[in-house]
Amino acid sequence: RPRVLSGIQPTADSFHFGNYLGALRQWVDLQEDHQPFFFIADLHAITVEQDPKVLRDRCLRAAAQLLAMGIDPERSAIFIQSQVPAHAQLGWVLQCLTGFGEARRMTQFKDKSAKGGEGSASVGLFTYPVLQAADILLYRPHYVPVGEDQRQHLELTRDLAQRFNHRYKKTFRLPEPYILKATAKIADLQDPTAKMSKSASSPAGIVEMLDEPRASAKKIRSAVTDSDTVIRFDPEEKPGVSNLLTIYAALTGRSVEALEEDYSGRGYGDLKKELAEVVVDFVTPFRERTLALLEDRTHLTEVLRRGADLANEVAEATLRDVYERVGFVTAG
């Protein structure tokens, strides 16, 4: 079975609809006929300052949400990145293969460091995409299910894999991004030309999976649309309406065309009201399952430990090959 790997940062109390529809939903589906490794990226989280207590809590909240959405620890290795030391170890080796200018070209770093000025960004934030390459390459996956915003990082990962393979010996598989076009970029509800993002969206623009369902419904009903009245999928001309149709289709499994037909001759109010109901029906049981899982933290840490055991086995084997090829003297 082809292997897949992906990760998510524990940097909010809740995942949002962009994370879920852009990436996490695919994680669940891919379990069927792939061998998945999914991790909670706490090493990435500390590229910006975190409160230790909050970070620890959010890691467990992330695990509970992944289980609640259908990640099955019997089929997927689900683990916390810092419990697999090979990530940081391979990260260093790959940093030594990365050009400074190459790292500088990463648009996410440019965007994120632009906020406080480059001087205030950590070196960790700068080298983040290289650690991400290590996260991926350790598991030699075939596919990496992510949203569109990660495409450039995936390209860097492939470049580094190729460089290592060429300089030393074929060691890494070149992974393919697995990006579902329809939901690759879920937009902010208040600014539908921007992506829904925890650091950039206003509270009204972002739907959090663990929000009070009624609050999420209200956000959908207040989503920005346009001054036209026709319900039509047209991301260029009608980004707000198109985003609502995308979310609607993804949550119900219906096609955008079928929705356009259903809503022909009807107003934006109807679309928003009915999508708000779909959202409530979806998030209510998800939230209940997550909160129930959070009642038993011992169980969560046990699941994560078992996942880390599996991950360590695979990651250590790759790291051994890497260290040997680089020329390190192996211990005994």
Q: Catalytic site residues? A: 112, 195, 198
Place of tokens 């880390």: 308
Q: Which is nearer to ligand AQP, 23 or 322 (CB)?
A: 23
Could you tell me which of 198, 283, 189, 185 has the C-alpha nearest to residue 244? 189
Q: Which residue is nearest to ligand AQP (CB)?
A: 22
| 150 counts as binding ligand AQP under rule CB under 6 A | yes
| 198 counts as binding ligand AQP under rule CB under 6 A | yes
CB of 147 to ligand AQP, least distance (A): 2
| 211 counts as binding ligand AQP under rule CB under 6 A | no
CB of 285 to ligand AQP, least distance (A): 22
Q: Tell me whether residue 296 is annotated as binding.
A: no
Q: 96 to 135, contacts with ligand AQP by CB under 6 A?
A: none
Q: Tell me whether residue 312 is annotated as binding.
A: no
Q: How far apart are CA 25 and CA 236, in angstroms?
A: 25
CB of 6 to ligand AQP, least distance (A): 6
| 205 counts as binding ligand AQP under rule CB under 6 A | no
Residue 261, Cβ density class (10 Å: 0-12 exposed, 13-18 middle, ≥19 buried): exposed
Q: Tell me whether residue 40 is annotated as binding.
A: no
| 19 counts as binding ligand AQP under rule CB under 6 A | yes
CB of 26 to ligand AQP, least distance (A): 9
| 23 counts as binding ligand AQP under rule CB under 6 A | yes
Radius of gyration of the chain (CA): 21
| 47 counts as binding ligand AQP under rule CB under 6 A | no
| 8 counts as binding ligand AQP under rule CB under 6 A | yes
Stretch that binds ligand AQP, among 166-174, 180-188, 236-244, 279-287 (CB under 6 A): 180-188
| 180 counts as binding ligand AQP under rule CB under 6 A | no
| 146 counts as binding ligand AQP under rule CB under 6 A | yes
| 83 counts as binding ligand AQP under rule CB under 6 A | no
Stretch that binds ligand AQP, among 97-105, 147-155, 159-167, 267-275 (CB under 6 A): 147-155
Q: Which of 153, 185, 219, 287 binds ligand AQP (CB under 6 A)?
A: 185
| 213 counts as binding ligand AQP under rule CB under 6 A | no
Q: Which is nearer to ligand AQP, 238 or 319 (CB)?
A: 238
Q: How far apart are CA 41 and CA 178, in angstroms?
A: 19
Q: Tell me whether residue 240 is annotated as binding.
A: no
Place of tokens 């991400």: 132
Could you tell me which of 67, 84, 52, 66 has the C-alpha nearest to residue 19? 66
| 147 counts as binding ligand AQP under rule CB under 6 A | yes
- Binding positions for ligand AQP, rule: CB under 6 A: 8-9, 11, 18-19, 22-23, 146-147, 149-150, 184-186, 195-200
